Amino acid sequence: MHPGGALGRSGHDPAVGEPLHFLNRELGQLEFNRRVLAQAQDAAVPLLERLRFLCIVSSNLDEFFEIRVAGLKAQIELRADTPGPDGASPRAVMAEVSRQARELVQKQYDVLNAEILPALAAEGVRFLRRREWTETQREWIHQYFLDEVMPVLTPIGLDPAHPFPRLLNKSLNFAVELAGKDAFGRNSGAALVQAPRALPRFILLPPEIAGCQHGFVFLSSILHAHVNELFAGMEIKGCYQFRVTRNSDLYVDEEEIKNLRIALQGELPQRNFGDAVRLEVADLCPPHMSEFLLQQFGLCTDDLYQVSGPVNLVRLMQVPDVVNRPDLKFTPFTPGIPASLAKREDLFAAIRKGDVLLHHPYQSFKPVIHFIEQAATDPHVVAIKQTVYRTGADSELMRHLIIAARNGKAVTVVVELLARFDEEANINWASQLEEVGAHVVYGVVGHKTHAKMAMVVRREESRLVRYVHLGTGNYHSRTATLYTDFGLFTCNPQMTADVNDVFMQLTGLGKAGRHMHVLQSPFDLHARLLEAIAQEAREAREGRPAGITAKMNALLEPEIIFELYEASRAGVKINLIVRGVCALRPGIRGLSENIRVRSVIGRFLEHNRIFYFRSTDTVLLSSADWMDRNFFRRIEVCFPVLDKKLKRRVITEGLKLYLDDNTQAWEMDADGRYRLRLAGSARPRCAQTALLAELAAKPAPPA
């Protein structure tokens, strides 16, 4: 039974909501990465983009081990064997994660070595292996080693005076086996070489040296070839690259500290030295050396991953940016601008004419930047308020907020310091904002501020008018070119009053009231969604039209899943578009036979959250996924699209196109497995391609 007590409550079939009706979260994340890996295997995807997808899998797995696997290990060590909603204990999940992750990594390197690298070589993009180097290449590489690599290396011999060092999380290292005595008569038999992060992990050779336009050599190959020069007079018996992944989840007791920012600044450096959770080694590393390394990190053989290639594929993510081959990449495009904004320079005047909807990345993020930029210099603007979850280290938006504060505007920024892996950037922006007199608030203790809101207060004809931007994605210019998200501009008095109230809650004190339009976590969002699902079930039982279509990144919260099962049993047709992890099992007779689950994986990361309820014709956009954390441990907002024309746009662009997709959509079965839905004899339909054609700026006609 769910800890909240909702499953099996009075009036419902107690069989619904039992563990066999839930899928495991960790295994669902691995399943998602299989779908991403399929993009790297797809010959229809441009070659350099296939390499990028392969790297994305590695990046995803890094975070998976740093957070999810680290959490499982912590539970096992604490002997907290309480099963999750799926009924599996942490120990059982860990065993299956180890098996499936190993299979996934093996497949990933098979794709790299058997498909992508040979195909790149055929296109003149080569990674030169040591055994292939010509004499000219050897001389160039040796000189590079002497000039650029050797001066920054610090080899460490392992002996009583030099015990095994603390190694940074995910850093590239080399274990070196030695024979003989050094100048002081020492003979430890082993040494370590750490590759500083300042060194590039692959080096581009001049074309005349490489023999091709784009010839690369791995840093690991250079070190292997010249490691003997680091240990003069010693015999090198072996040199093996390895990488350790550590627990990177920060722990800060918010209730016990007086200054969260100072506490985080003290905690962040320790992230790189958390408990080890995974060891990656080259496949040529002998068993005795692997065992030695495992012992040093307190790991067991289940934590060892031997790979045929570089131990850090994430660094290859930069290769497509270095290689100037547009024919091997996705066709570039220029994001469009809505007609309502294109014909008016005054953004506030455009919003007064009617609500404005932006669909990123097909439509530009620049209007959002312009919203704050214009407010910063507009003499009629008196105040700006904004939430910041992820915005990046180089943020134009944040610079405009600083300018606004310098110009005397009342600037209030709610900065989430605990945005995972963005803590340092957010701390830096908070400091800069405070220096110019902005009000910086760090949200609410125990709740991450994940809502995406910006509000401008402007004096117009002797009265104050509020303008608001609400979004499903972060205020981050780069991710706005890669993630699909919706953003809404409005000056609707009721909507803006709701947003103002949320800001008042975040910065001040007081009880939460009921809003006219905006739903909010942790207060009423969960309950109102449960009620909306139940309403569709009631309509279906009465024989009236009913239906639910929802799009999100993850679906895990047990009570929501339970209510969806109940709606399915009542006859409600439910379509769920869930990019990542989904714990609900679709297609079970008598339980979820009216539920379809699909995941769309393509050029852009599907990131928007859309909830449509047919009986009331309600369209909601939100910053929140249907997860426990979003409902109960985060500040989230969910808001309706009130304008009828914009509502139809969201339904068409955000839902219908994705339900019709038969090229990038994966359909899920009751066991959590996914099958790519292929067009067959039907006309191929791709949601992302259609949206690019519809919303992106049209190329200028030839002169």
CB 148, CB 142: distance < 8 Å? no
Cα separation, 518 vs 514, in Å, equals 9
Whether the upstream peptide bond of residue 558 has omega within 30° of 0, thus cis, is no
CA angle 161, 165, 171 (to 5 degrees): 155
Of 574, 621, 676, 587, give the one whose Cα is nearest residue 468.
Answer: 621
Greatest CA separation found in the chain? 90
CB 561, CB 550: distance < 8 Å? no
Token pair 């997860």 in the structure block, residue: 627
SS (HEC) of 279-326: EEEECCCCHHHHHHHHHHHCCCHHHEEEECCCCCHHHHHHHHHHCCCH
As to burial, measured by CB atoms within 10 angstroms (0-12 exposed, 13-18 middle, 19+ buried), residue 412 is: buried
The two three-digit tokens of residue 564, written as one number: 């969806």
Cα separation, 243 vs 275, in Å, equals 14
Catalytic choice (21, 359, 360, 450):
450
Cα separation, 588 vs 282, in Å, equals 44
* Cα 394 → chain centroid: 18
Number of H helices and E strands in the chain, helices first, is 23, 27
DSSP-assigned states of every residue in 587-633: --TTTTTTEEEEEE-SSSEE--EEEEETTTTEEEEES--BSHHHHHS
Of 424, 426, 448, 488, give the one whose Cα is nearest residue 649.
Answer: 488
Cα separation, 594 vs 20, in Å, equals 18
Give the residues across from 456 on adjacent strands.
384, 467
How many Cβ atoms from other residues are within 10 Å of residue 116's Cβ?
20
Q: Are strands 453-460 and 463-471 parallel, antiparallel or unpaired?
A: antiparallel
The two three-digit tokens of residue 114, written as one number: 């058997």
CB 635, CB 624: distance < 8 Å? no
Instruction: Give yes or no: 439 in active site.
Output: no
Phi, psi (deg, nearest 5) at residue 426: -70, -35
DSSP 8-state assignment for residue 577: E
Cα separation, 127 vs 120, in Å, equals 9
Could you report how far apart the first and last alpha carbons of the chain are, in Å?
69
Interior/surface letters 677-686, b for 16+ CB within 10 angstroms, e for the rest: eeeeeeeebb
Q: Are strands 519-521 and 634-640 parallel, antiparallel or unpaired?
A: antiparallel
How many Cβ atoms from other residues are within 10 Å of residue 430's Cβ?
21
As to burial, measured by CB atoms within 10 angstroms (0-12 exposed, 13-18 middle, 19+ buried), residue 323 is: buried
The residues that are catalytic are 450
